[in-house]
Amino acid sequence: QVVAVYGTLSDLLSVASNKLGIKATSVYNGKGGLIDDIALIRDDDVLFVCEGEPFIDPQSDGRPHEELTGSHTDWLTLNVGGRYFTTTRSTLVNKEPDSMLAHMFKDKDAWGNKQDHRGAFLIDRSPEYFEPILNYLRHGQLIVNDGINLLGVLEEARFFGIDSLIEHLEIAIKNSQPAEDHSPISRKEFVRFLLATPTKSELRCQGLNFSGADLSRLDLRYINFKMANLSRCNLAHANLCCANLERADLSGSVLDCANLQGVKMLCSNAEGASLKGCNFEDPSGLKANLEGANLKGVDMEGSQMTGINLRVATLKNAKLKNCNLRGATLAGTDLENCDLSGCDLQEANLRGSNVKGAIFEEMLTPLHMSQSVR
């Protein structure tokens, strides 16, 4: 019978049932391939319908097509997670001959008798993720519909061993990721962060970028800023009591009149920073630790630094005029060309420090340096 093909596959089966007087349930092409999508039908195709039995070539003597030819037809149907896909054996084998799919279908009995009632080969995988893989095997292009998770397709590609597709998917997933945001954290963002954090919780800001931010007059006590970028920040009048600024970048920042009681600034970089009028002196006896810090050219005029640890720190060209350095540890510190006029250095340890070109005029107390001072 000549039948116009339109609508859906169900429409075609309904027309065939009426024309042929049977209850048509399956449609085959001339080579015995099961048709599960009307889009697969081309002009002048000769189609065969049946009520569910295996395909039998009418040109044979009633023998199944498989028995007549002695081998499988190239066309076959897969039942992947309940969804049918019609393709060719060569599509599954030729593109990736070493894949699991190729090993499953390159030989006649490779997949045994795992077939459903329609003769489709059963594969217990996700049809949503299998479709892009099958299309890739057909034409070599990765095409994924909107809403399909690429990670799911990648896992299926790995499961079936489609190696060339895995590389394409990994690149596509990487390109689909949003670009990393390295922009500095603003004052507004950080204040929102502070307000959302319980006062008794440890606030860790390790390695974060605050470059150029205005953090002045904020309560930043006990916050961990280890290795954070605080360059060119405004920290004037901020409370940094017992904050951890170890290895932090404070270059060019302003910390005038900041509370730095018990602060930890080991090996931090505060070159060119302004620390005028800062308070490092903790009445409870907790000492601020700036051991090994880079304080080249800093302005610390008038700061309270009783008992501060500046061991092996670099203070070359720094301004320490009128600072209280009573009992400070300055052993091995580079004080070259440093202005220490008006400083209280009583009981300060200057052993091994470099005071070449340093200014000590108008000190509050006499300075008694050991012979080890350079």
Please name each of the domains of the chain with its CATH number: 9-50 (no CATH), 75-176 (3.30.710.10), 181-373 (2.160.20.80)
| CA separation for the pair 101, 233 (Å, rounded) | 60
Residue 66 has a pLDDT of: 44
The pLDDT of residue 70 is: 38
Quick one: pLDDT at residue 7?
Answer: 80
pTM for the full model?
A: 0.51
Residue 371's pLDDT is 37
The pair of three-digit structure tokens given for residue 3, joined into one six-digit string: 């039948």
pLDDT for res 265: 94
241 and 221 Cβ atoms separated by less than 8 Å: yes
pLDDT at position 168, please?
87
- Alpha-carbon distance of 194 to 163, in angstroms, equals 48
Tokens coding 109: 């009995």
pLDDT tens for the chain, 374 residues long, are: 777 777 888 888 888 888 888 888 888 877 677 777 777 777 777 888 888 777 666 655 554 444 434 344 578 889 999 999 999 888 888 888 888 888 888 776 555 557 888 888 889 999 999 999 999 998 888 888 888 899 999 999 999 999 989 988 988 888 877 666 568 888 998 998 888 887 767 788 989 999 999 999 999 999 999 999 999 999 999 999 999 999 999 999 999 999 999 999 999 999 999 999 999 988 888 889 999 999 999 999 999 999 999 999 999 999 999 999 999 999 999 999 999 999 999 999 999 999 999 988 754 444 444 434 44
What contacts 175, CB < 8 A, 6 or more positions away? none
* Bridge partners, 34 (sequence order): 28
Element (H, E) at 85: strand 83-88
